[in-house]
Structure 1
Amino acid sequence: MQESLTYLDQTFINFREFLFDDHARRWVDIKRFSVSHSDVGDTHLLTELIGHEQFRDDYAGGGVEANGLRHGPYWLRKVSPAAYVRVDEMSANAMLCDWAAQFGPLPVALSARLEHEVHPLVAGATERYRLSDLGHGAFHDWGGVHGDFHELVFIDRPAKILSLLVAADD
């Protein structure tokens, strides 16, 4: 079967633009892909996502490595479609809100940016998945650098868009 995912763009929300304290080392990274074959299942889309070059990102400043072996804190080979669990809209929103506001209320401008960039993805998705915690055994050689690492995948079938969202800290 022909590939179903085509990389579109990326949005990066750096909390340092809005916060000026020790808790400003957080960020949200969103990568969007077009889904060209709407008849493929979610497992197939997750498999393609994991195999996509844009997925080979350690999210620690190195960026995407075409032949990379890491994804976030994990060895790429440890990530599989089975590692993703389906979540509902309320659970996805709660996880993101709890993470973002864990150190107190957010500035109005940051809340507005998250409301504009993140919440439409959650609300518009027909399917939502969260990457399970794969444990320390799946960490790559320096995989513990993130204090928090949350990953969600949103599939919006009517819009033919898959979004990969990572919310983490340095």
Structure 2
Amino acid sequence: MTLPFVGDEIVHLDSGTFMWVQLTRFLIEPDQDDRSLLESLIESPGYQHDYASPFPSRGGSEPSDWGIHGRWRIGAIHPDLFEPSTAEAAKAEINAWAKDQEWTDPEYSQPPDVIQRLESIFTLLGSGPVLKLRNPSREAEHDYGFVTGNLGFHEFIVIDRVLRILHVIVASDD
């Protein structure tokens, strides 16, 4: 079983950084347990994306099976790679990644408009259990996986059973 793709949006960080936070949404049956939802998510065409290409919804078409997710072959991703997290920990990790790069000054901050757009995504972190993907090993990378995530690849899943939505939040770069 796969999860129906609902839509996506992207927040581009400071201009010239090639950093972004991608939100992808899927419809769920709220009575499914977390593991079953993760299994269905991984099989879903909307989850299988390289994050280096535009998302299909921008062109009005349905996602298709890519066989990859981010840097990795999809076969390397499984439910056991997801560990419980919290909304606070996820927000702190994304904020630290967005602010503390080798090229930034210690006083650096993302522009106010970026911070405001990120806050709308951070609000979603409180809508259900949060799971964090432990990234697969380098051996699991696909042929051009090196293109994505040079500054980090941070993925969080939020299961909102009230609204029947599973949110995939990825903070990375290309």
Q: Same fold (TM over 0.5)?
A: yes
In structure 2, the partner of 1:31 is 24
| Structure 1 counterpart of 2:85, from 81, 84, 87 | 87
| Structure 1 counterpart of 2:153, from 142, 149, 156 | 149
1:42 aligns with 2:34: yes
- Asked whether the 8 Å contact 2:21–2:171 carries over to 1, the reply is yes
- Asked whether the 8 Å contact 2:2–2:41 carries over to 1, the reply is no
Tell me, what secondary structure is at the counterpart of 1:32?
strand
Please list every run of 5 or more consecutive structure 1 residues that lacks an aligned counterpart in the other structure: none
Q: Quick one: distance in 1 between partners of 2:73 and 2:2?
A: 24
Q: Quick one: distance in 2 between partners of 1:5 and 1:69?
A: 16
Tell me, what secondary structure is at the counterpart of 1:111?
helix
Q: Deviations over 1:47-67 (max 9, x none)?
A: 010000101100012646623
Q: Quick one: distance in 2 between partners of 1:4 and 1:62?
A: 21
* Code of the aligned partner of 1:29: Q
Q: Quick one: distance in 1 between partners of 2:65 and 2:78?
A: 17
In structure 2, the partner of 1:54 is 46
Give the total of aligned pairs.
160
In structure 2, the partner of 1:121 is 124
Tell me, what secondary structure is at the counterpart of 2:146?
coil
Q: Quick one: distance in 2 between partners of 1:168 and 1:134?
A: 15
1:5 deviates by 2.8
- Asked whether the 8 Å contact 2:20–2:172 carries over to 1, the reply is yes
Q: TM-score, normalised by structure 1?
A: 0.87
Tell me, what secondary structure is at the counterpart of 2:145?
coil
1:12 deviates by 1.1
1:141 deviates by 1.5
Larger RCO: 1 or 2 (CA < 8 Å, sep 6+): 2
Q: Quick one: distance in 1 between partners of 2:64 and 2:109?
A: 38
Tell me, what secondary structure is at the counterpart of 1:53?
coil
Distance change (3 Å), C-alpha of 1:134 and 1:4: closer
Q: Quick one: distance in 2 between partners of 1:160 and 1:55?
A: 17
Q: Quick one: distance in 2 between partners of 1:86 and 1:154?
A: 10
Q: TM-score, normalised by structure 2?
A: 0.85
In structure 2, the partner of 1:14 is 12
Identical positions, percent: 28
